[in-house]
Amino acid sequence: MAKFTSMAYSSADEMIFGTAKKPVKYGRDFEVGGGMVYPEIVNHPRPGSEETKKSLMREYEKMTNDSLERAVTLGFPGLQIELEHVWQMTKNPDWGGDIAGQTVRQQQDWYQKYGIKSAVRATIADNRKPEQENIRDCKSLELALKTFELSAKNGADNLSIESVGGKEISDYSIVRQDIRGVLFGIGVLGSRDVEFLWKQIVEIANKYGATPGGETNCAQANVAMFMAGGMLDKSVPHTFAAVTRAIGAARTLTAYEMGAKGPTKDCGYEDPIIKAITGIPIATEGKTCACAHADLQGNLIMAVTDLWSNEAVEYHDMFGGTTAAVFTEILGYDVALMNSAIALGKAKDLQEMMIYSDLYRDVHSFVVAPAQAYEIGKAIVTNNTDYYSRARAGAICAAKLILGDPKMLLSKFETEVLQKTLRELESFPDNEGDFIEQCAAIYTKAVPGFKLANYGL
Amino acid sequence: MATAEVFVRYDLKKELAEKKVAAGKDELLQKVMDAVVNGDEDNIVAYVNEALTVHDPLVVIREGLVKAMDEVSRLWDEGIYYLPQTIISSDTMLAGLEECEKKMGHAVEKKGVVVTHTAEGDIHDLGQQIVNALLRANGFEVIDLGKDVPVDDVVNAVKQYKPAMLTGTALMTTTMTAFNKIANRLRRDGIEVPFVCGGGAVSLEYVTSFDLGIWGKEAQQAPPMASDAVAGVSWTKMREKYNS
């Protein structure tokens, strides 16, 4: 496995939405990162529709049709549809596989009639339970791999996952503001699990001619970010969550070292860092995912996007049509604005506005802004001797960037949390083996069911 | 880059008061209290054992550990403490409690039993873990069924443990549908346990659409809800109190 030791871009300023150093082509005349931004709609079935395969397939058929129809109605050039599996679609591999096949067929019909470019991303559910089973040899893994296989066989263009390795440690640590556990759970264990999984996903994708797509640290860094919440929340400190994001970036990078080609997964808020390092096109979500959750970088996270998403919207009627149609429209017009800016030579102006909107709104916006993402990426690749060292370096860099910018205002409490976090990070051993030994002793005792063997250690 | 009024940092507008620990009865109990309030897991056992040389275990529990957790709850309610401070204080308090129980030779009588679980198909159990920690720190016995728990297992656990309250956590709308199945099964068997459901996409509208269901908006509601359930407040009254 070749590790990234240099940056794909010469500077943050070189990064822009719609263009990636390594564009990806698949689907029906669909290219991501090749000079245009496209929308990626994620529709979610209503509760109850998952009761049977037939009812779930019908639900997906309607949602997909509504999205494609609205895209053509409004003249959008292309659309990616993500099938983000509800657990029943992975627990029953034929459900996920058949829904992928059905969606591809629908896209082919619309492509033949109208020429709308399109692609299907199948995101398989990772239902493994690290503290309860051997996650390298369990039924959930077997079903996930089978679902990947059937989805690819039935025509899914892009295979993706939101994997959960190390979550038993990161969950324990995030709510205790324990940066050691976060670094261990995400940076050390999570990276090893991503390596383990993506070797197999890439093999399956190659077997069927699908594109090994993207990962995300949704199960860990997003937990910290969503718990940190907005300006009224007093849950996880925002500065702690922002440092966690940098660790998540080092972990998610592993998928692209293993052969994933992108675009990345939309909910990976670490993706600007990934793009800076790898040059792979990224999917992001911001204001358009208000249907699923609130975040503090609604505009900024568009700054270097290549595929603009809504995270997930449950299928319902609205005054303007179904949510599948309405959110396709919202995404499509956002994308049209970005593509207009590209066509008019104003892309950097629009990007500046996106960044200006949110840069100092919150520390999490700050660390995923292009300039900061680039610096964190540099810290990761210049310390890429092992998973631990690069994750730790990214985290230290993020903390120092926040503390070093006087415009990034912090409360006294948040400042103290960040200073303490930085002190702890700097106090950890330099050697990965020493760190693992230290953590093994602590977390084997603290987290029931935790097993090093799940991570090949 | 200049900053116009594009956004307002409401989080910086209010500087919060410094924490203040309610005074303990004496120096030894004060040390126990300070350790819990400050989440000093490294020293709590030593401080509790020191206090136990002078005080009865029940006094250390009541006047030290419990009083300190009351203070932690206040600090959290007022926004001075964040969740991690509260969780670490809870861990510290439970470590201290274990020492007292060792001295007594038996466990302290719990306020009541609560069965908790995360819905079938859902591996996102962090919310449940927080609920567990808060309930335990507040003196309840928690039967933790874990994550991805089949409907049958939840129903059987309720029959076995006869809890004052049942909780269910789910992130996705397509996993929360297990909750009304559980409620229907329990009702069919004549079991009227308050069933508090919360997490992610779980909404008030959904939870109050089936009998027994009470919507839990935040984890910190779990201890007062459990207290009501133990006191015999019916699920209909609890729903009225928390969901209307």
A residues 402..441 contacting B (CB < 8 A): 407, 409-413
Q: Which H helix or E strand runs over A161?
A: strand A158-161
At residue B214, the 3 state secondary structure works out as strand
Residue at A2 is within a domain = no
CB neighbourhood size of A389 (10 A): 18
Cα diameter, chain B: 66
CB A358 within 8 A of CB A298: yes
Tell me the percentage of chain B whose pLDDT exceeds 70. 94
Distance (Å, rounded) from C-alpha A401 to C-alpha A397? 6
Alpha-helical regions (H) of chain B: 27-37, 44-52, 57-59, 67-77, 83-104, 126-137, 151-161, 173-188, 204-207, 222-230, 235-243
Residue at B5 is within a domain = no
Give A351's Cβ-side CA count (13 Å radius): 21
Residue type, A47: P
Asked if A175 has any chain B CB less than 8 Å from its own CB, the reply is yes
**Which pLDDT tens digit goes with each residue over B20-69?**
566 667 899 999 999 999 999 999 999 999 999 999 999 999 999 999 99
Q: Which residues of chain A have pLDDT under 50?
A: none
User: Residue B3: what pLDDT?
Assistant: 55
B10·A232 Cβ contact <8 A: yes
A314·B201 Cβ contact <8 A: yes
B148·A361 Cβ contact <8 A: no
Q: Which long-range contacts (CB under 8 A, 24 or more apart) does B229-235 make?
A: B229/B112, B229/B114, B229/B164, B229/B165, B229/B193, B229/B194, B230/B111, B230/B112, B230/B140, B230/B164, B230/B165, B233/B194, B234/B192, B234/B194, B235/B192, B235/B193, B235/B194, B235/B195, B235/B211
Residue at A108 is within a domain = yes
B127 in the same domain as B32: no
Cβ neighbours of residue A14 under 8 Å, at least 6 residues apart?
Answer: none
Give φ, ψ of A63 to 5 degrees.
-60, -45
Asked if B121 has any chain A CB less than 8 Å from its own CB, the reply is yes
B residues 200..219 contacting A (CB < 8 A): 201, 206
Query: B104, B138, B168 — which closes off a domain?
Result: B104
B68 in the same domain as B143: no
Report the residue of A175, A227, A354 to disrupt the B interface, i.e. the one with the largest count of B CBs within 10 Å. A175
B148·A237 Cβ contact <8 A: no
A172, A231, A360: residue with CB nearest B11: A231
Give B66's Cβ-side CA count (13 Å radius): 14
A260: domain CATH number?
Answer: 3.20.20.70
B189: domain CATH number?
Answer: 3.40.50.280
B215 in the same domain as B130: yes
Residue at B12 is within a domain = no
B231 in the same domain as B127: yes
**Residue A156, by phi and psi: left (phi above 0), alpha (psi -120 to 50) or beta?**
beta
B45: domain CATH number?
Answer: 1.10.1240.10
B146 in the same domain as B79: no
Q: Is the ipTM of this complex over 0.85?
A: yes
Residue at A1 is within a domain = no
User: Residue A234: what pLDDT?
Assistant: 86
B121 in the same domain as B89: no
B236 in the same domain as B117: yes
Structural domain range at position B83: 21-104
Query: B87, B104, B121 — which closes off a domain?
Result: B104
Using the predicted structure, report yes or no on whether residue B16 has a pLDDT greater than 60.
no
Q: Is A21 exposed, middle or buried (0-12, 13-18, 19+ CB in 10 A)?
A: middle
B139 in the same domain as B178: yes
Using the predicted structure, report yes or no on whether residue B242 has a pLDDT greater than 70.
yes
Using the predicted structure, report yes or no on whether residue B212 has a pLDDT greater than 90.
yes
Provide mean pLDDT across the span B89-101.
95
Q: How far is A168 from chain B (nearest CA, A)?
A: 9
User: Residue A15: what pLDDT?
Assistant: 98
At residue A154, the 3 state secondary structure works out as coil
How many domains does chain A fold into?
A: 1
User: Residue A328: what pLDDT?
Assistant: 98
At residue A116, the 3 state secondary structure works out as coil
Asked if A187 has any chain B CB less than 8 Å from its own CB, the reply is no
Structural domain range at position A307: 12-455
- CB-based burial, B97-114: b 16+ in 10 Å, e otherwise: bebbeeeeeeeeeebbbb
CB A435 within 8 A of CB A193: no
Using the predicted structure, report yes or no on whether residue B147 has a pLDDT greater than 80.
yes
Q: How far is A86 from chain B (nearest CA, A)?
A: 7
Cα torsion angle, B94, B96, B102, B106, sign: negative
B143 in the same domain as B26: no
Give φ, ψ of A30 to 5 degrees.
-105, 130
Which pair of tokens denotes residue A453? 């063997």
Residue at B6 is within a domain = no
> Nearest residue on chain B to A128, judged by CA atoms?
B123
B15, B130, B175: residue with CB nearest A87: B175
Distance (Å, rounded) from C-alpha B156 to C-alpha B165? 14
How many domains does chain B fold into?
A: 2
**Banded pLDDT at B4 (limits 50, 70, 90):** low
User: Residue A112: what pLDDT?
Assistant: 98
